[in-house]
Amino acid sequence: MDESVSPESFAPEPPPEPSGAGALPERQPMAPGIYFGLADDVYHADPSLGSHSVARLRYSGPHYWWESWMNPLREEKKESDAYIWGRAFHKLTLEGRSAFDESFARAPVIDEYPGCCRIVDDIKAKLAALGLPVSGNKAVLIERLKAADPEATFWDEIVAAAEAGGKTLLKPGMHAEILLSGAMISKNPHLQPSFRDGFSEVSVFWVEDGVPCKARIDYLKLKATVDLKSILTNRDDLTFDRLVHRAIAMYRYDMQCAHYQTARDMARQFVTEGKVFDMTGGRTLEHYDEDTGEIVQRPTMPTQKWLNVFAKTTDFTWVWVMFGKGGPPLAKGYEFRRDDPAFDLACDDRKRGLKTYTEFYERFGREMWLVMDPVELVTGQDLPSWLGNAA
């Protein structure tokens, strides 16, 4: 990238209070604009429509409502191992090892602490070996053993110390797998440029046809919008390319591309309107320079000069960096261009999703969204062909 527009720290005006755009009476969306350094939980708590919601709305309004903030019976989902894996992998790939280590740590393993007291019987055995009483509750036993043997270790205290750091603890196998997976990208010369000379986790909020929308771009570059995805590669009968193509179609990642490219168009407009908000707090990221072998500080907020170039750049593209998990840790980049007819189809489907939202919200508001279709006739032509062959 031209050094004249290289990113450096820059502090614009603070963001305004969330606006009342869109028909969301109780949970107001963020003010329209482009946000650098917005906390992940703040973004996800915002009620605006993200790409997953729009894709769901393309097929079913009630399905969207059921999973949305409007459903009073919706239960907050616990973080699954797969979700934690993805969050950690994104942190490592997008922000680097230092940022990863700030948020995640390898969980302790009991086997790595020989002689550690895990249960009460372990403590009693050590006390008995020292000829000391073994009566009392666990707390009393611990204090007695500590007084007799200052070097004694206790599993509960080791775990508590690890958790006190405020980091998400990863199982040792998961921690090792994520680091190996990250190396599959960082050491690939075709993928290295994908996460350089740009900015990670950039949030955009806008209003489209009266509907509040949002997008969180994994990595924003002057001429590319980069999205990091993991897919299962535990099938031997399909090539990685085929698995990627199936995933794009099944999960409508093409609609996500259409949604995010719209977000990028809006972000360019927001730069000209001065709606650029710095939430980074001046944070920098440590980055290993492959060319010099040195650790350099990378800003998380662009300069006004970089933003001005970004706002004028119209020849940008979309790139998925797909990573395989559950099998060989394969990684490959895939470009999806705006002049492809499939992109037009994705844009049309996205518009249908926004239209569905408007229609259902105008009819039901925040109350349960229902299918109000008339009774439909079912004929043999509607049933699966295998029915006639059933025994």
pLDDT in tens, 318-369: 999 999 887 777 899 999 999 999 999 999 999 999 999 999 999 999 999 9
Burial of 379 (0-12, 13-18, 19+ CB in 10 A): exposed
Residue ranges covered by each domain of the chain: 10-97+170-362, 106-164
CA separation for the pair 51, 291 (Å, rounded): 37
At residue 217, the pLDDT reads 97
From residue 88, how far is each of 22, 45, 173, 184, 319 by CA, in Å? Answer: 33, 20, 13, 15, 21
E-assigned strands of 326-388? 331-336
| Longest Cα separation, the chain | 84
Task: Output the CA–CA distances (angstroms, integers) from residue 262 to 46, 50, 82, 267, 308, in the order listed.
Answer: 18, 12, 29, 9, 18
Six token digits for residue 168: 């998400």
CA–CA separation, 87 vs 10, rounded Å?
Answer: 27
Cβ pair 215, 201 in contact under 8 A: no
In the chain, the amino acid numbered 96 is G
The torsion angles phi and psi of 358, rounded to 5 degrees, stand at -60, -45
Of 61, 19, 29, the residue nearest 356 (C-alpha): 61
d(CA 183, CA 121): 43
CATH 3.90.320.10 fits domain 10-97+170-362: yes
Residue 37 CA to its chain's centroid (Å): 14
Q: What is the pTM of this model?
A: 0.83
Q: Determine how many CB atoms are found less than 10 A away from the CB of residue 7.
A: 18
Please give the Cα distance from 201 to 217 (Å, whole number).
Answer: 5
Structure tokens at 148: 């007799």
Report the candidate in 39, 42, 36, 43 with the shortest Cα–Cα distance to residue 10: 36
pLDDT given at position 5: 33
At which residue do the structure tokens 């509960």 appear? 156
DSSP lists the bridge partners of residue 142 as none
CA angle 61, 66, 67 (to 5 degrees): 105
Q: What is the pLDDT of residue 251?
A: 94
Give me the helix-helix angle, 253-273 and 304-312, nearest 10°: 120
Contacts of 359 (CB under 8 A, 6+ apart): 61
Q: What is the pLDDT of residues 90-134, one digit of tens each?
A: 999 999 888 999 999 999 999 999 999 999 999 999 999 999 999
Backbone angles phi, psi at 264, to 5 degrees: -65, -40
Looking up tokens 């080791």 gives 158
Q: Which residues of the chain are modeled with pLDDT < 70?
A: 1-27, 287-294, 389-391
Q: How far is CA 60 from the centre of its chain?
A: 24
Instruction: Return the structure tokens found at 300.
Output: 């998380």
